[in-house]
Amino acid sequence: MSDLNFVLGTAEQPIASIAGFSQTYELLAATESDRMVDGSLDTSTHWAGKLKTRISGEGWTPPVLLGLDYTSQMTLKCGAPIAAQDASNTVTIPAARRTDTGHTPVGFAIVDGKEVQTPITGIVANVATLTTVTGASSYVVWYWPEITVQVTERPTQDTATGAATHRWSFAAEEV
């Protein structure tokens, strides 16, 4: 599985700069909610499905983040997986995903509430087919997003010389 590394634009992060790593995901949507005269809630969604992510970490070397052009959109190869699930052994995953070594999708069957790794036999038109497992109630595929983003919170960097650590963070939204 993945080394939990990420690449932002042209900057691949050295492993020593991400000894401690955290990535959060938030699903963005444009929705409006109005209360009707009878008190019921009327919600309209205009679009949904874009990701917002925050990546932070620390390491023994500084990250390679401060020299990038943050006025432009960039490709972000994410370091943390997202899981997609289906009751059948065919699971739809986004086209916007990493396929480089160490980040290819990984399949699991859910058996008695536990993940049991099972091979993905193929991916056709963004549908992963997993080997069936007796007793599975559903199937899960982990994938690592690769998305075009605009950095919304530019990187911060904090160096603690006494501890020989460099802490950093940034946030980005899928365009």
Per residue in 9-21, pLDDT (tens digit) is 999 887 767 778 8
How far apart CA 151 and CA 14 sit, in angstroms, is 20
Buried b (16+ CB within 10 A) or exposed e, 129-166: bbeebeebeebbbbbbbbbebebeeebeeeeeeeeeeb
Predicted local confidence at residue 164, as pLDDT: 80
Predicted local confidence at residue 4, as pLDDT: 62
Predicted local confidence at residue 137, as pLDDT: 98
Predicted local confidence at residue 3, as pLDDT: 58
Predicted local confidence at residue 53, as pLDDT: 98
Supply the pTM of this predicted model.
0.87
Predicted local confidence at residue 70, as pLDDT: 96
Number of CB atoms found within 10 A of residue 7's CB: 18
Predicted local confidence at residue 21, as pLDDT: 85
Positions of the chain with pLDDT under 70: 1-4, 16, 47
The domain at 1-80+145-175 falls in which architecture? Beta Barrel (2.40)
How far apart CA 26 and CA 17 sit, in angstroms, is 24
Predicted local confidence at residue 43, as pLDDT: 81
Quote the tokens at residue 34: 């109005």
Chain region(s) in the chain for CATH 2.40.30? 1-80+145-175
